[in-house]
Amino acid sequence: MTQPKITLIGGGLVGALLAQLMATRGFAVEVFEKRPDPRRTGFNGGRSINLALAERGLQALRTAGLADDVLQRAVMMRGRMVHPLEGMQSLLRYGVDDSEVIWSVSRGGLNMLLLDAAEAAGARFHFGQGLVGADLNARSIRLIDAGGVQRQHDASVLVGADGAGSTLRAAMNNYQPLGQRIEPLGHGYKELEIPPASGAERFAIEPNALHIWPRGGYMCIALPNTEGSFTVTMFLPAHGPHPSFESLPDAAAAGDFFRQDFPNLLPLIPRFAEDYDAHPVGGLSTLYLDQWHVDGRALLIGDAAHAIVPFHGQGMNCGFEDTIVLADLLAEAGRDWADAFAQFQRIRKPNADAIAAMALENYVEMRDSVSDPRFLAKRELGAR
Ligand code: FAD
Protein backbone atom coordinates (compact mmCIF):
# COMPACT_ATOMS: atom_id res chain seq x y z
CA MET A 1 0.00 0.00 0.00
CA THR A 2 1.30 3.50 -0.81
CA GLN A 3 2.16 5.81 2.06
CA PRO A 4 -0.50 8.44 2.87
CA LYS A 5 0.79 11.83 1.62
CA ILE A 6 0.61 15.11 3.44
CA THR A 7 1.79 18.56 2.34
CA LEU A 8 2.83 21.01 5.04
CA ILE A 9 3.11 24.74 4.46
CA GLY A 10 5.74 26.32 6.75
CA GLY A 11 8.86 24.74 8.22
CA GLY A 12 9.00 26.90 11.35
CA LEU A 13 8.84 25.52 14.88
CA VAL A 14 5.48 23.80 14.59
CA GLY A 15 5.78 22.71 10.95
CA ALA A 16 9.20 21.12 11.49
CA LEU A 17 8.09 19.21 14.60
CA LEU A 18 4.91 18.01 12.88
CA ALA A 19 6.98 16.89 9.87
CA GLN A 20 9.20 14.79 12.14
CA LEU A 21 6.23 13.20 13.91
CA MET A 22 4.32 12.41 10.71
CA ALA A 23 7.36 11.02 8.91
CA THR A 24 8.10 8.83 11.94
CA ARG A 25 4.52 7.52 11.73
CA GLY A 26 5.00 6.39 8.13
CA PHE A 27 3.51 9.34 6.21
CA ALA A 28 5.13 10.77 3.07
CA VAL A 29 5.71 14.38 4.18
CA GLU A 30 6.57 17.30 1.92
CA VAL A 31 7.17 20.74 3.44
CA PHE A 32 7.21 24.04 1.56
CA GLU A 33 8.96 26.86 3.43
CA LYS A 34 9.20 30.36 2.00
CA ARG A 35 12.52 31.22 3.66
CA PRO A 36 15.88 29.77 2.64
CA ASP A 37 17.30 26.85 4.64
CA PRO A 38 18.52 28.47 7.91
CA ARG A 39 21.19 25.77 8.28
CA ARG A 40 22.86 27.14 5.14
CA THR A 41 22.08 30.85 5.23
CA GLY A 42 21.76 31.54 8.97
CA PHE A 43 18.49 31.95 10.79
CA ASN A 44 16.43 35.04 10.15
CA GLY A 45 13.21 34.41 12.04
CA GLY A 46 12.06 38.02 12.17
CA ARG A 47 10.89 37.90 15.79
CA SER A 48 11.72 36.86 19.33
CA ILE A 49 15.29 35.61 19.44
CA ASN A 50 14.61 33.28 22.34
CA LEU A 51 11.51 31.69 23.83
CA ALA A 52 10.35 30.11 27.06
CA LEU A 53 9.85 26.38 26.69
CA ALA A 54 7.43 25.01 29.30
CA GLU A 55 6.07 21.59 30.21
CA ARG A 56 3.48 21.46 27.41
CA GLY A 57 6.13 21.93 24.74
CA LEU A 58 8.66 19.77 26.50
CA GLN A 59 6.21 16.89 26.66
CA ALA A 60 5.78 17.07 22.88
CA LEU A 61 9.56 17.11 22.40
CA ARG A 62 9.85 14.06 24.68
CA THR A 63 7.35 12.21 22.47
CA ALA A 64 9.48 13.11 19.46
CA GLY A 65 12.59 11.88 21.28
CA LEU A 66 14.16 15.35 21.12
CA ALA A 67 13.78 16.75 24.64
CA ASP A 68 17.29 15.91 25.84
CA ASP A 69 18.92 17.46 22.75
CA VAL A 70 16.89 20.62 23.18
CA LEU A 71 17.54 20.94 26.91
CA GLN A 72 21.29 20.65 26.33
CA ARG A 73 21.00 23.92 24.40
CA ALA A 74 18.68 25.67 26.88
CA VAL A 75 19.09 27.80 30.00
CA MET A 76 16.94 26.82 32.97
CA MET A 77 14.77 29.54 34.53
CA ARG A 78 13.61 28.67 38.02
CA GLY A 79 11.48 31.73 38.63
CA ARG A 80 10.71 35.32 37.92
CA MET A 81 13.29 37.89 39.02
CA VAL A 82 11.34 41.08 39.63
CA HIS A 83 13.22 44.39 39.40
CA PRO A 84 11.11 47.15 40.97
CA LEU A 85 11.94 50.78 40.20
CA GLU A 86 13.03 51.23 43.78
CA GLY A 87 14.24 48.58 46.18
CA MET A 88 15.84 45.19 45.79
CA GLN A 89 15.25 42.62 43.06
CA SER A 90 13.55 39.42 44.28
CA LEU A 91 13.32 35.91 42.85
CA LEU A 92 9.84 34.39 42.87
CA ARG A 93 10.27 30.69 42.23
CA TYR A 94 7.87 28.81 39.96
CA GLY A 95 7.84 25.79 42.28
CA VAL A 96 9.17 24.61 45.58
CA ASP A 97 12.25 23.16 43.88
CA ASP A 98 13.84 22.77 40.43
CA SER A 99 11.31 20.13 39.36
CA GLU A 100 9.09 23.04 38.29
CA VAL A 101 11.06 25.26 35.94
CA ILE A 102 10.87 26.66 32.42
CA TRP A 103 13.67 26.87 29.83
CA SER A 104 15.00 29.63 27.61
CA VAL A 105 15.76 28.33 24.09
CA SER A 106 17.05 29.99 20.95
CA ARG A 107 14.35 30.15 18.26
CA GLY A 108 16.90 29.66 15.48
CA GLY A 109 18.78 26.85 17.23
CA LEU A 110 15.54 25.02 18.02
CA ASN A 111 14.20 25.42 14.48
CA MET A 112 17.40 24.03 12.99
CA LEU A 113 17.43 21.07 15.40
CA LEU A 114 13.82 20.27 14.44
CA LEU A 115 14.61 20.53 10.71
CA ASP A 116 17.50 18.08 11.11
CA ALA A 117 15.26 15.67 13.03
CA ALA A 118 12.43 15.89 10.48
CA GLU A 119 14.79 15.27 7.55
CA ALA A 120 16.39 12.35 9.39
CA ALA A 121 12.89 10.87 9.83
CA GLY A 122 12.30 11.12 6.06
CA ALA A 123 10.41 14.42 5.59
CA ARG A 124 11.29 16.32 2.39
CA PHE A 125 11.79 20.08 2.67
CA HIS A 126 11.62 22.60 -0.17
CA PHE A 127 13.12 25.89 1.00
CA GLY A 128 12.66 29.22 -0.74
CA GLN A 129 9.18 28.05 -1.87
CA GLY A 130 6.41 30.32 -0.60
CA LEU A 131 2.74 29.47 -0.91
CA VAL A 132 0.89 32.16 -2.86
CA GLY A 133 -2.45 30.44 -3.34
CA ALA A 134 -4.36 27.18 -3.10
CA ASP A 135 -7.16 25.76 -5.25
CA LEU A 136 -8.92 23.50 -2.79
CA ASN A 137 -11.33 22.19 -5.46
CA ALA A 138 -8.52 21.12 -7.74
CA ARG A 139 -6.37 20.12 -4.76
CA SER A 140 -3.39 22.09 -6.00
CA ILE A 141 -1.21 24.89 -4.65
CA ARG A 142 0.73 27.74 -6.27
CA LEU A 143 4.27 28.38 -5.08
CA ILE A 144 6.76 31.14 -5.72
CA ASP A 145 10.54 30.86 -5.50
CA ALA A 146 13.09 33.52 -4.54
CA GLY A 147 13.45 34.56 -8.18
CA GLY A 148 9.70 35.23 -8.44
CA VAL A 149 8.98 32.18 -10.60
CA GLN A 150 5.60 30.58 -9.88
CA ARG A 151 4.53 26.97 -10.36
CA GLN A 152 1.59 24.67 -9.60
CA HIS A 153 1.95 21.62 -7.38
CA ASP A 154 -0.55 18.86 -6.55
CA ALA A 155 -1.44 18.68 -2.89
CA SER A 156 -4.38 16.50 -1.93
CA VAL A 157 -4.09 17.07 1.85
CA LEU A 158 -2.70 20.34 3.19
CA VAL A 159 -1.68 21.38 6.69
CA GLY A 160 -0.90 25.06 7.23
CA ALA A 161 1.83 25.73 9.78
CA ASP A 162 2.63 29.03 8.09
CA GLY A 163 2.22 31.22 11.14
CA ALA A 164 0.01 34.12 12.20
CA GLY A 165 -0.15 35.65 8.70
CA SER A 166 -0.98 32.27 7.11
CA THR A 167 -1.46 32.35 3.32
CA LEU A 168 -3.15 28.96 3.45
CA ARG A 169 -5.67 30.37 5.93
CA ALA A 170 -6.50 33.16 3.46
CA ALA A 171 -7.02 30.61 0.67
CA MET A 172 -9.21 28.42 2.91
CA ASN A 173 -11.21 31.46 4.00
CA ASN A 174 -11.89 32.31 0.35
CA TYR A 175 -13.08 28.78 -0.32
CA GLN A 176 -15.25 28.58 2.80
CA PRO A 177 -15.43 31.39 5.43
CA LEU A 178 -13.61 30.35 8.61
CA GLY A 179 -15.16 32.98 10.92
CA GLN A 180 -11.89 34.85 11.33
CA ARG A 181 -11.41 37.68 13.84
CA ILE A 182 -8.07 39.36 14.57
CA GLU A 183 -7.84 41.53 17.68
CA PRO A 184 -4.74 43.75 17.86
CA LEU A 185 -3.49 44.30 21.42
CA GLY A 186 -2.56 47.93 20.80
CA HIS A 187 0.85 47.31 22.36
CA GLY A 188 4.04 46.48 20.49
CA TYR A 189 7.50 45.16 21.33
CA LYS A 190 11.14 45.88 20.57
CA GLU A 191 14.15 43.66 21.24
CA LEU A 192 17.42 44.83 22.80
CA GLU A 193 20.43 42.95 24.13
CA ILE A 194 22.43 42.60 27.35
CA PRO A 195 25.78 41.20 26.11
CA PRO A 196 27.80 38.56 28.00
CA ALA A 197 29.84 39.86 30.94
CA SER A 198 33.58 40.23 30.40
CA GLY A 199 34.88 38.88 33.73
CA ALA A 200 34.74 35.43 35.29
CA GLU A 201 30.93 35.54 35.39
CA ARG A 202 29.57 34.82 31.93
CA PHE A 203 26.20 36.48 32.61
CA ALA A 204 25.75 40.13 33.62
CA ILE A 205 22.68 39.29 35.75
CA GLU A 206 21.30 36.10 37.33
CA PRO A 207 21.20 33.53 34.49
CA ASN A 208 18.59 31.11 35.85
CA ALA A 209 15.63 33.46 35.88
CA LEU A 210 13.12 35.21 33.66
CA HIS A 211 13.80 38.86 34.49
CA ILE A 212 11.01 41.37 34.58
CA TRP A 213 11.02 45.13 35.13
CA PRO A 214 7.28 45.79 35.69
CA ARG A 215 6.19 49.41 35.47
CA GLY A 216 2.39 49.36 35.51
CA GLY A 217 1.22 50.07 31.93
CA TYR A 218 4.38 48.68 30.32
CA MET A 219 7.42 46.53 31.12
CA CYS A 220 10.72 45.01 30.00
CA ILE A 221 11.59 41.33 30.29
CA ALA A 222 14.87 39.48 29.65
CA LEU A 223 15.55 35.81 28.91
CA PRO A 224 19.06 34.29 29.05
CA ASN A 225 20.94 32.83 26.07
CA THR A 226 23.47 29.99 26.41
CA GLU A 227 26.45 32.13 25.37
CA GLY A 228 25.90 34.57 28.25
CA SER A 229 23.78 37.30 26.70
CA PHE A 230 20.14 38.16 27.45
CA THR A 231 17.46 39.14 24.97
CA VAL A 232 15.53 42.07 26.42
CA THR A 233 12.01 42.69 25.16
CA MET A 234 10.36 46.02 25.83
CA PHE A 235 6.53 46.02 25.72
CA LEU A 236 4.79 49.37 25.41
CA PRO A 237 1.57 50.85 23.95
CA ALA A 238 2.05 51.32 20.21
CA HIS A 239 0.34 54.71 20.01
CA GLY A 240 -1.06 57.38 22.26
CA PRO A 241 0.27 59.50 25.09
CA HIS A 242 3.70 59.09 26.62
CA PRO A 243 5.05 56.51 27.11
CA SER A 244 4.32 54.75 23.82
CA PHE A 245 6.41 53.74 20.83
CA GLU A 246 4.83 56.73 19.11
CA SER A 247 6.11 59.10 21.84
CA LEU A 248 9.54 57.40 21.78
CA PRO A 249 10.33 57.40 18.05
CA ASP A 250 14.11 57.22 18.43
CA ALA A 251 16.92 56.32 20.80
CA ALA A 252 17.36 59.90 22.02
CA ALA A 253 13.81 60.03 23.38
CA ALA A 254 13.88 56.41 24.56
CA GLY A 255 17.23 56.90 26.33
CA ASP A 256 15.77 59.63 28.57
CA PHE A 257 12.76 57.44 29.29
CA PHE A 258 14.99 54.45 30.18
CA ARG A 259 17.21 56.58 32.45
CA GLN A 260 14.10 57.51 34.40
CA ASP A 261 12.09 54.25 34.34
CA PHE A 262 14.73 51.54 33.91
CA PRO A 263 17.84 53.11 35.52
CA ASN A 264 19.41 49.77 36.48
CA LEU A 265 18.69 48.11 33.13
CA LEU A 266 20.00 50.82 30.80
CA PRO A 267 23.72 50.47 31.77
CA LEU A 268 23.50 46.74 30.96
CA ILE A 269 22.59 47.52 27.31
CA PRO A 270 25.70 49.17 25.77
CA ARG A 271 24.27 49.14 22.23
CA PHE A 272 20.98 50.70 23.36
CA ALA A 273 20.98 53.58 20.88
CA GLU A 274 22.04 51.54 17.83
CA ASP A 275 19.63 48.69 18.59
CA TYR A 276 16.70 50.92 19.51
CA ASP A 277 16.99 52.76 16.20
CA ALA A 278 17.69 49.64 14.11
CA HIS A 279 15.18 47.16 15.52
CA PRO A 280 11.56 47.34 14.38
CA VAL A 281 8.52 47.54 16.64
CA GLY A 282 6.68 44.22 16.40
CA GLY A 283 2.88 44.06 16.54
CA LEU A 284 0.86 41.75 18.81
CA SER A 285 -2.61 40.33 18.09
CA THR A 286 -4.90 37.45 18.98
CA LEU A 287 -6.38 35.39 16.16
CA TYR A 288 -9.79 33.76 16.64
CA LEU A 289 -11.23 31.30 14.11
CA ASP A 290 -14.52 29.40 14.26
CA GLN A 291 -13.25 26.77 11.88
CA TRP A 292 -9.72 25.38 11.60
CA HIS A 293 -10.26 23.02 8.66
CA VAL A 294 -11.99 22.63 5.30
CA ASP A 295 -13.38 19.05 5.42
CA GLY A 296 -10.46 16.68 4.81
CA ARG A 297 -8.62 18.98 2.39
CA ALA A 298 -6.87 21.50 4.59
CA LEU A 299 -6.19 22.16 8.27
CA LEU A 300 -4.47 24.93 10.20
CA ILE A 301 -2.16 24.32 13.17
CA GLY A 302 0.01 26.40 15.52
CA ASP A 303 -0.08 30.19 15.08
CA ALA A 304 -1.88 29.81 11.73
CA ALA A 305 -4.91 28.57 13.71
CA HIS A 306 -4.57 30.38 17.04
CA ALA A 307 -1.91 33.11 17.26
CA ILE A 308 -1.88 34.62 20.76
CA VAL A 309 -0.06 37.41 22.57
CA PRO A 310 3.23 36.18 24.11
CA PHE A 311 2.68 36.96 27.80
CA HIS A 312 2.12 33.43 28.96
CA GLY A 313 5.07 32.21 26.89
CA GLN A 314 2.75 29.53 25.50
CA GLY A 315 2.33 30.10 21.74
CA MET A 316 5.03 27.66 20.66
CA ASN A 317 4.26 25.35 23.58
CA CYS A 318 0.62 25.19 22.55
CA GLY A 319 1.60 24.63 18.90
CA PHE A 320 3.90 21.79 19.93
CA GLU A 321 1.04 20.21 21.86
CA ASP A 322 -1.08 20.48 18.68
CA THR A 323 1.45 18.43 16.73
CA ILE A 324 1.26 15.45 19.08
CA VAL A 325 -2.54 15.40 19.10
CA LEU A 326 -2.71 15.70 15.31
CA ALA A 327 -0.04 13.10 14.61
CA ASP A 328 -1.79 10.58 16.86
CA LEU A 329 -5.21 11.27 15.35
CA LEU A 330 -3.91 10.92 11.79
CA ALA A 331 -2.01 7.75 12.58
CA GLU A 332 -5.25 6.24 13.97
CA ALA A 333 -7.56 7.61 11.27
CA GLY A 334 -5.56 6.24 8.33
CA ARG A 335 -6.95 8.15 5.37
CA ASP A 336 -10.10 9.52 7.00
CA TRP A 337 -8.66 13.02 6.98
CA ALA A 338 -11.97 14.84 7.50
CA ASP A 339 -12.76 12.96 10.68
CA ALA A 340 -9.24 13.42 12.07
CA PHE A 341 -9.28 17.16 11.29
CA ALA A 342 -12.69 17.60 12.92
CA GLN A 343 -11.57 15.72 16.02
CA PHE A 344 -8.39 17.76 16.16
CA GLN A 345 -10.38 20.99 16.25
CA ARG A 346 -12.80 19.56 18.82
CA ILE A 347 -9.94 18.57 21.14
CA ARG A 348 -7.61 21.53 20.69
CA LYS A 349 -9.83 24.59 20.21
CA PRO A 350 -11.06 24.84 23.83
CA ASN A 351 -7.42 24.70 24.98
CA ALA A 352 -6.34 27.31 22.44
CA ASP A 353 -9.22 29.63 23.42
CA ALA A 354 -8.35 29.28 27.11
CA ILE A 355 -4.66 30.02 26.63
CA ALA A 356 -5.50 33.04 24.43
CA ALA A 357 -7.56 34.53 27.27
CA MET A 358 -4.94 33.69 29.90
CA ALA A 359 -2.17 35.27 27.79
CA LEU A 360 -4.09 38.54 27.60
CA GLU A 361 -4.73 38.51 31.36
CA ASN A 362 -1.10 37.75 32.10
CA TYR A 363 0.09 40.93 30.36
CA VAL A 364 -1.80 43.06 32.85
CA GLU A 365 -0.55 40.90 35.71
CA MET A 366 3.09 40.87 34.60
CA ARG A 367 3.42 44.59 34.06
CA ASP A 368 1.62 45.21 37.39
CA SER A 369 3.50 42.49 39.24
CA VAL A 370 5.47 45.06 41.18
CA SER A 371 2.38 45.56 43.31
CA ASP A 372 1.71 41.91 44.14
CA PRO A 373 4.59 39.77 42.92
CA ARG A 374 3.96 36.63 44.98
CA PHE A 375 0.56 35.98 43.43
CA LEU A 376 2.01 35.85 39.94
CA ALA A 377 5.19 33.86 39.99
CA LYS A 378 3.69 30.48 39.07
CA ARG A 379 1.85 31.66 35.99
CA GLU A 380 4.57 31.31 33.35
CA LEU A 381 4.59 27.57 33.95
CA GLY A 382 1.23 27.70 32.29
CA ALA A 383 0.81 24.01 31.75
CA ARG A 384 -0.44 23.11 35.20
P1 FAD B 1 5.97 30.51 12.93
O2 FAD B 1 7.02 30.37 13.96
O3 FAD B 1 5.52 31.88 12.56
O4 FAD B 1 6.49 29.75 11.65
C5 FAD B 1 5.80 29.85 10.41
C6 FAD B 1 6.71 29.38 9.31
O7 FAD B 1 5.98 29.39 8.08
C8 FAD B 1 7.94 30.27 9.13
O9 FAD B 1 9.08 29.49 8.95
C10 FAD B 1 7.59 31.06 7.86
O11 FAD B 1 8.74 31.45 7.13
C12 FAD B 1 6.76 30.05 7.10
N13 FAD B 1 5.82 30.68 6.17
C14 FAD B 1 5.07 31.78 6.37
N15 FAD B 1 4.34 32.05 5.28
C16 FAD B 1 4.64 31.10 4.37
C17 FAD B 1 4.19 30.84 3.04
N18 FAD B 1 3.32 31.65 2.42
N19 FAD B 1 4.70 29.76 2.39
C20 FAD B 1 5.61 28.93 3.00
N21 FAD B 1 6.06 29.16 4.25
C22 FAD B 1 5.58 30.21 4.93
N23 FAD B 1 5.87 31.13 22.46
C24 FAD B 1 6.26 30.37 23.52
O25 FAD B 1 5.81 29.21 23.64
N26 FAD B 1 7.12 30.85 24.45
C27 FAD B 1 7.62 32.12 24.39
O28 FAD B 1 8.39 32.54 25.26
C29 FAD B 1 7.23 32.95 23.31
N30 FAD B 1 7.68 34.21 23.20
C31 FAD B 1 7.28 34.98 22.16
C32 FAD B 1 7.74 36.30 22.09
C33 FAD B 1 7.34 37.12 21.06
C34 FAD B 1 7.82 38.53 21.01
C35 FAD B 1 6.45 36.61 20.05
C36 FAD B 1 6.01 37.49 18.93
C37 FAD B 1 6.01 35.30 20.12
C38 FAD B 1 6.41 34.48 21.17
N39 FAD B 1 5.96 33.16 21.28
C40 FAD B 1 6.32 32.39 22.35
C41 FAD B 1 5.02 32.59 20.29
C42 FAD B 1 5.77 31.75 19.25
O43 FAD B 1 6.74 32.56 18.62
C44 FAD B 1 4.82 31.19 18.24
O45 FAD B 1 3.69 30.63 18.86
C46 FAD B 1 5.49 30.15 17.36
O47 FAD B 1 6.55 30.71 16.64
C48 FAD B 1 4.49 29.52 16.41
O49 FAD B 1 5.13 28.63 15.57
P50 FAD B 1 4.55 28.33 14.11
O51 FAD B 1 5.48 27.34 13.53
O52 FAD B 1 3.10 28.04 14.22
O53 FAD B 1 4.65 29.73 13.35
With the most atoms of ligand 1 within 8 angstroms of its CB, the residue from 7, 9, 13 to mutate is 13
In the chain, what are the helix, strand and coil shares in percent, each to the nearest 5?
35, 25, 35
Among candidate residues 184, 189, 161, 111, the one with its CA nearest the CA of residue 327: 161
Distance CA(60)–CA(58), nearest Å, equals: 5
Q: What is the pLDDT of residue 45?
A: 65
Ligand 1 atom closest to Cα of 223? Answer: 28
Contact of 248 with 236, CB cutoff 8 Å = yes
Reported as a single tens digit per residue, the pLDDT across 351-376 is 999 999 999 998 888 887 645 544 44
Q: What is the pLDDT of residue 365?
A: 83
- CA of 201 from ligand 1 middle (Å) equals 33
Among candidate residues 8, 98, 95, 105, the one with its CA nearest the CA of residue 48: 105
Reported as a single tens digit per residue, the pLDDT across 66-114 is 999 999 999 999 999 999 999 899 999 999 999 999 999 999 999 999 9
- DSSP symbol at 81: E
Contact of 143 with 8, CB cutoff 8 Å = no
- CA of 364 from ligand 1 middle (Å) equals 23
Reported as a single tens digit per residue, the pLDDT across 126-169 is 999 999 999 999 999 999 999 999 999 999 999 999 999 999 99
Query: What does the DSSP assignment read for 274-326?
Result: HHHHHSPPEEEEEEE-S--EETTTEEE-THHHH---GGGS-HHHHHHHHHHHH
Q: What is the pLDDT of residue 48?
A: 62
Q: With pLDDT > 70 as the criterion, what percentage of the chain qualifies?
A: 95
Confidence of residue 46 (pLDDT cuts 50, 70, 90): low
Report the run of H or E that residue 351 belongs to, with start and end: helix 337-367
Of all protein residues, the one whose alpha carbon is nearest to atom 3 of ligand 1 is: 163
- CA of 226 from ligand 1 middle (Å) equals 21
Query: What does the DSSP assignment read for 136-197?
Result: TTTTEEEEEETTS-EEEEE-SSEEE---TT-HHHHHHHHHS----EEEEEEEEEEEEEEPPP
pLDDT at 294 over 70: yes
The structural architecture, per CATH, of the domain 5-75+105-182+285-360 is 3-Layer(bba) Sandwich (3.50)
pTM over 0.80: yes
Query: What number of helices (H) and strands (E) belong to the chain?
Result: 12, 19
Q: What is the pLDDT of residue 384?
A: 30
Distance CA(304)–CA(165), nearest Å, equals: 7
User: Within a 10 A sphere around the Cβ of 364, how many other Cβ atoms?
Assistant: 12
Q: What is the pLDDT of residue 366?
A: 85
Domain ranges of the chain: 5-75+105-182+285-360
Confidence of residue 200 (pLDDT cuts 50, 70, 90): confident
Q: What is the pLDDT of residue 335?
A: 82
With the most atoms of ligand 1 within 8 angstroms of its CB, the residue from 18, 44, 48 to mutate is 48
Q: What is the pLDDT of residue 378?
A: 46
Contact of 125 with 7, CB cutoff 8 Å = no
Of all protein residues, the one whose alpha carbon is nearest to atom 26 of ligand 1 is: 313
Within 13 A of 338's CA, how many CA atoms are on the CB side? 3
Among candidate residues 203, 362, 334, the one with its CA nearest the CA of residue 268: 203
Confidence of residue 380 (pLDDT cuts 50, 70, 90): low
- CA of 12 from ligand 1 middle (Å) equals 6
Of all protein residues, the one whose alpha carbon is nearest to atom 45 of ligand 1 is: 315
Contact of 128 with 36, CB cutoff 8 Å = yes
- CA of 89 from ligand 1 middle (Å) equals 32
Contact of 114 with 20, CB cutoff 8 Å = yes
Q: What is the pLDDT of residue 364?
A: 86
Secondary structure class of 9 (helix, strand, coil): strand
Q: Which residue has the higher pLDDT, 365 or 214?
A: 214
Main-chain phi, psi angles of 280, to 5 degrees: -75, 165
Residues touching ligand 1 (Cβ under 6 Å) are: 9-15, 32-35, 47-48, 51-52, 130-131, 161-163, 167, 189, 233, 282, 302-304, 310, 313-317, 319
- CA of 260 from ligand 1 middle (Å) equals 34
Ligand 1 atom closest to Cα of 314? Answer: 25
Within 13 A of 21's CA, how many CA atoms are on the CB side? 25
With the most atoms of ligand 1 within 8 angstroms of its CB, the residue from 162, 292, 362 to mutate is 162
Reported as a single tens digit per residue, the pLDDT across 303-346 is 999 999 999 899 999 999 999 999 999 999 878 999 999 999 99
Confidence of residue 383 (pLDDT cuts 50, 70, 90): very low
- CA of 163 from ligand 1 middle (Å) equals 5
Q: With pLDDT > 90 as the criterion, what percentage of the chain qualifies?
A: 88
- CA of 302 from ligand 1 middle (Å) equals 8
ipTM value, please give it.
Answer: 0.99
Q: What is the pLDDT of residue 382?
A: 44
- CA of 2 from ligand 1 middle (Å) equals 32
